[in-house]
Amino acid sequence: MLHPVPASTRAKSRHASEGLVIFGGTGDLALRMLFPSLYFLEDEGLLPPDLRIIGTARSDLEDAAFAAQVKSAVQTRAGDDFSDETWARFAPRLRYAAVDVQDAAAFSRLGEVLEARRAIFYLSTSPALFGAVCQNLQVAGLVRDDSRVVVEKPIGRDLKSCQAINDTLASIFTEDRIFRVDHYLGKEAVQNLLALRFANTLFEPLWNKASIDHVQITVAETVGVEGRWSYYDDYGALRDMVQNHLLQLLSLVAMEPPASLDPDSVRNEKIKVLQSLRPITGRDVERNTARGQYIAGVADGRSAPGYADESGGDSSETETFVALLAHVDNWRWAGTPFYLRTGKRLPARSSEIVIQFREVPHSIFGGVDLMANRLTIRLQPEEEISLALMNKTPSLEHNGMTLKPLSLNLSLSHAFKDERPRRIAYERLLLEVLHDNQTLFVRRDEQETAWRWIDAIRHGWDHKSTKPSPYPAGTWGPSSAFALIERHAHSWCE
Ligand code: BG6
């Protein structure tokens, strides 16, 4: 969307030679997402011709053994889309450097593999290692004025720790060379929100409190936390999902039209939304938030253990579900509720934004129930946009009309059949890093403003003696989530 690359300029790099160094190069994120994404970019001719891709991790590995690991991960992900021809072009780019990030000497070896290329350092490691990596890169003379760094969440677990990480990054890289990933911003459907809102005149005049009754944003997962228990238990759904993905979605839905797609134009508008979020404090913590933890139940048709059972016996007060009522206190949205909800082990994998319009001011259809218009933007599993409208049921009744809500449906996978379905969000993000475009990356002030809002809620929870309410796996969360929305005479769209 942001940088369509015309075929004629494909494979022409703006920079003569570049090196993408992936710290955590044999880790889960790298093998499941980053390398397959790079492979798909290769397939489409979008990688700079002499881009070298260097995986680093602690263990000693030959280049060939590393390439074999990458190949198997790419094959798993690509399935029938795997092509030997593309692989033959991609494999020669791969190198491996064993780097213990605490060992300064190892970084000079990395320098040898990089061979004076302009570098992008992708830190796909625990943030606890960011400091050591950055420092040692600098000591080894690998950071140049044109080097960039890409960092993955979690960037901290509260405002203070986030600021400490950001300070470390800022001591080595200027803000315009720091790319903070929120992978939701790489999803086609999320970028399409900008197109829906700002490439059409239809919705914008209605996109405000006068016409919109409320907004719902749901990111529901059927999976549990499984192998990620120890990470997750330290974070919970509020920090893991709401602080980043849900607040990014909310910002894109609520923001004012940016002047252009420039990184700062878009991010300036998003941050104004975050700054307008009413802090949830005091009694509002109880009224406007609900949290839950899954217990054993049935998910995806199979019996599923409870969260605490997955820990190997430890009990925990970490939430795996959270629902919130947020208010954006500005002229456009004052008084419009934004309901946010996310959780693990819910009945369906479904992420959607529902814009619920107001009811007609007066019905001329007698006692017929009129359903208010509703725009649903489905992000996953399929990308769809649907608009529910009231219609007359065809009939020869003479006494009034029978009406029924019907949907105008736009199925994006159907409309763009020739496109590879379910692209990996990282394909777009890596391409944007290679093109030096920060529009889809989170700016420091955005991230810290989001943490400030989240910290207030966490603080409120910590001062209450209540724990997350249990909900059976395979259900839509605890009853408190239903009470939260019903208190305002609304209900969750399922
Ligand atoms: C990650 C969270 O950021 O997003 C995970 O850490 C979550 O807990 C994942 O499962 C969801 O991403 P997606 O793209 O599958 O919706």
231 CB contacts (<8 Å, ≥6 apart)?
none
CATH no., domain 185-423+444-486: 3.30.360.10
Q: Which atom of ligand 1 is nearest to the CA of 232?
A: 8
Reported confidence tier of residue 2, pLDDT bands at 50, 70, 90 = low
446 lines ligand 1 (CB under 6 A): no
Is pLDDT at 88 greater than 80 in this prediction? yes
Does residue 484 contact residue 325 with C-beta atoms inside 8 Å?
yes
- Pocket probe for ligand 1: among 180, 217, 221, the residue whose CB has the most ligand atoms within 8 Å is 221
Does residue 57 contact residue 28 with C-beta atoms inside 8 Å?
no
221 lines ligand 1 (CB under 6 A): yes
Going by alpha carbons, the residue nearest to atom 13 of ligand 1 is 184
Is pLDDT at 23 greater than 80 in this prediction? yes
Q: Which amino acid is located at 162 in the chain?
A: C
Ligand 1 centroid to residue 37 C-alpha, Å: 17
Ligand 1 centroid to residue 202 C-alpha, Å: 32
Nearest to 39 by CA among 80, 1, 77: 77
Each domain of the chain, given as residue ranges in start order, spans 7-152, 185-423+444-486
Q: State mean pLDDT over 463-470.
A: 87
Whether the bond into 154 is cis, omega within 30 of 0: yes
Going by alpha carbons, the residue nearest to atom 15 of ligand 1 is 221
Does residue 168 contact residue 362 with C-beta atoms inside 8 Å?
no
Going by alpha carbons, the residue nearest to atom 14 of ligand 1 is 184
Q: Which atom of ligand 1 is nearest to the CA of 219?
A: 16
Going by alpha carbons, the residue nearest to atom 6 of ligand 1 is 240
Q: Which atom of ligand 1 is nearest to the CA of 223?
A: 10
Q: In what order do the strands lie in the sheet with 403-411?
A: 403-411, 384-392, 374-380, 350-357, 212-220, 337-343, 321-327, 289-295, 469-472
315 CB contacts (<8 Å, ≥6 apart)?
308
Q: State mean pLDDT over 433-458.
A: 97
Is pLDDT at 1 greater than 60 in this prediction? no
The total number of residues shown for the chain amounts to: 494
Task: Compute the distance between CA of residue 461 and CA of residue 478 in angstroms, rounded to an integer.
Answer: 16
Strand ranges in 283-424 using DSSP code E only, listed in sequence order: 289-295, 297-299, 302-304, 321-327, 337-343, 350-357, 374-380, 384-392, 403-411
Ligand 1 centroid to residue 266 C-alpha, Å: 24
Whether the bond into 279 is cis, omega within 30 of 0: no
Q: Which atom of ligand 1 is nearest to the CA of 380?
A: 16
Ligand 1 centroid to residue 476 C-alpha, Å: 18
240 lines ligand 1 (CB under 6 A): yes
Q: Which amino acid is located at 96 in the chain?
A: Y
42 lines ligand 1 (CB under 6 A): no
pLDDT at 175: 97
Annotation marks residue 488 as catalytic: no
Task: Compute the distance between CA of residue 333 and CA of residue 355 in angstroms, rounded to an integer.
Answer: 13
Nearest to 181 by CA among 219, 147, 161, 153: 153
Single out the catalytic residue among 15, 183, 214, 245.
245
Is pLDDT at 295 greater than 60 in this prediction? yes
Ligand 1 centroid to residue 161 C-alpha, Å: 21
CATH no., domain 7-152: 3.40.50.720
Q: Which residues pair with 150 in a beta bridge?
A: 122, 179
pLDDT at 10: 40
Give the tens place of pLDDT for each residue, 350-361: 999 999 999 999
Helix (H) or strand (E) holding 447: helix 444-462
- Pocket probe for ligand 1: among 222, 244, 245, the residue whose CB has the most ligand atoms within 8 Å is 245
More confident residue, 402 or 177: 177
Distance of CA 355 to the CA centre of its chain: 20
Task: Compute the distance between CA of residue 481 and CA of residue 228 in angstroms, rounded to an integer.
Answer: 25
- Pocket probe for ligand 1: among 151, 225, 234, 241, the residue whose CB has the most ligand atoms within 8 Å is 241
Helix then strand then coil, in percent of the chain rounded to 5, is: 40, 20, 40
455 lines ligand 1 (CB under 6 A): no
Does residue 11 contact residue 93 with C-beta atoms inside 8 Å?
no
Reported confidence tier of residue 314, pLDDT bands at 50, 70, 90 = confident
| Cβ atoms within 10 Å, residue 160 | 11
Q: Which residues pair with 289 in a beta bridge?
A: 324
pLDDT at 9: 38
Ligand 1 centroid to residue 178 C-alpha, Å: 22
Does residue 251 contact residue 270 with C-beta atoms inside 8 Å?
yes
Is pLDDT at 6 greater than 50 in this prediction? no
Q: What whole-number percentage of the chain has pLDDT above 70? A: 97
More confident residue, 313 or 157: 157
Task: Compute the distance between CA of residue 53 and CA of residue 67 in angstroms, rounded to an integer.
Answer: 11
Distance of CA 62 to the CA centre of its chain: 34
Ligand 1 centroid to residue 351 C-alpha, Å: 11
- Crossing angle of helices 130-139 and 104-114, in 10° steps, is 70
Residue-averaged pLDDT of the chain: 92
Is pLDDT at 34 greater than 70 in this prediction? yes
